[in-house]
Amino acid sequence: MTPEQALPPAQLIRSAAALQRLLTWLSPAFPVGAFAWSAGLETAIVERTVTNADSLQDWLAGALAHGGIRQDAIFLAQAWRAGTATALAELAELYLALVPSAERHAETIAMGDAFLIAARAWPSEVFARLPDPCPYPVAVGAVAATHDIPLPDTLIGLLTAVVHGQVSVAVRLVPLGQTAGLKVMAALEPEIAGLATTAEATTLEDIGGIAYAADIAQMRHETLQPRIFRS
């Protein structure tokens, strides 16, 4: 008997509904505008730091281990646990204070706002507790929690979606073939799973990173010409 078969029927239904919502919210078709942003990767491609699948994998592995993607995972976990409007507001304020560039600041607010507008199709009391502006990871974590989507699943979902988005940028700009992009995704699965496990157990004391190249790339993108992406 599988773990799913051991669940009571009502719990099976709740689990299926939670998975369905998570897949919908983190789908490329969900209208958060993720396709418009590169989180500085466009700069890294233009400056020839990322030129092929191997260098893309290294860039993303660094972001997962030490950079902005790791920070997003930690804040998502904290937002998932936060029970009050005050706690969520403090998380949002701290997140925005730590964003290294103006474009990344705009990115996380735009995506967070768009996510909350679209997610209102699934009514919840959590929307009244969320701050304005609300960074994207905080928004996803808080909304997932109120819909009983497990934290591990939410972390894996968001991290996978973020890495998918970065690979999509590289497929278009390097350019990489679709097969090469998929190989990068497959190779990064252990790093994604590892960060999800780590983030679940972290606190705000664990915030911090050393991804200076990514931070500088995000800042340099503000004056990059010509450019395709908004960050």
pLDDT, tens only, 22-32 = 999 999 999 99
Task: State the average pLDDT over residues 152-160.
Answer: 97
- What pLDDT does residue 3 have? 46
pTM of the model: 0.92
| CATH code assigned at 49 | 1.10.4190.10
Compute how many other C-beta atoms are within 10 angstroms of the C-beta atom of residue 135: 29
- What pLDDT does residue 15 have? 82
73 or 1, greater pLDDT: 73
Would residue 5 count as lying in a domain?
A: no
In 3-state terms, what secondary structure has residue 109? helix
DSSP state of 192: H
- What pLDDT does residue 14 have? 60
- What pLDDT does residue 13 have? 47
Phi, psi for residue 78 in degrees, rounded to 5: -70, -40
C-alpha span between 8 and 110 (Å, rounded) = 40
pLDDT, tens only, 191-205 = 999 999 999 999 999
Q: Tokens for 114, please give them.
A: 């768009």
C-alpha span between 136 and 113 (Å, rounded) = 7
Q: Per the structure, how many domains does the chain have? A: 1
- What pLDDT does residue 188 have? 98
- What pLDDT does residue 223 have? 95
Would residue 139 count as lying in a domain?
A: yes
Q: Are 211 and 66 in contact (CB under 8 A)?
A: yes
Share the mean pLDDT of the chain: 93
Would residue 209 count as lying in a domain?
A: yes
Length of the chain: 231
pLDDT, tens only, 4-24 = 445 554 454 468 889 999 999
Q: Are 136 and 32 in contact (CB under 8 A)?
A: yes
Q: Residue 131 above 70 pLDDT? A: yes
Q: Which residues contact 157 (CB under 8 A, 6 or more apart)?
A: 22, 23, 25, 26
Would residue 20 count as lying in a domain?
A: no
Would residue 26 count as lying in a domain?
A: no
Q: Tokens for 66, please give them.
A: 């030490």
Q: Which domain holds residue 126?
A: 34-220
Q: Are 59 and 191 in contact (CB under 8 A)?
A: no
pLDDT, tens only, 35-89 = 999 999 999 999 999 999 999 999 999 999 999 999 999 999 999 999 899 999 9
Task: State the average pLDDT over residues 165-176.
Answer: 97
Would residue 205 count as lying in a domain?
A: yes
Compute how many other C-beta atoms are within 10 angstroms of the C-beta atom of residue 164: 15
Would residue 12 count as lying in a domain?
A: no
Would residue 150 count as lying in a domain?
A: yes
Task: State the average pLDDT over residues 127-139.
Answer: 97
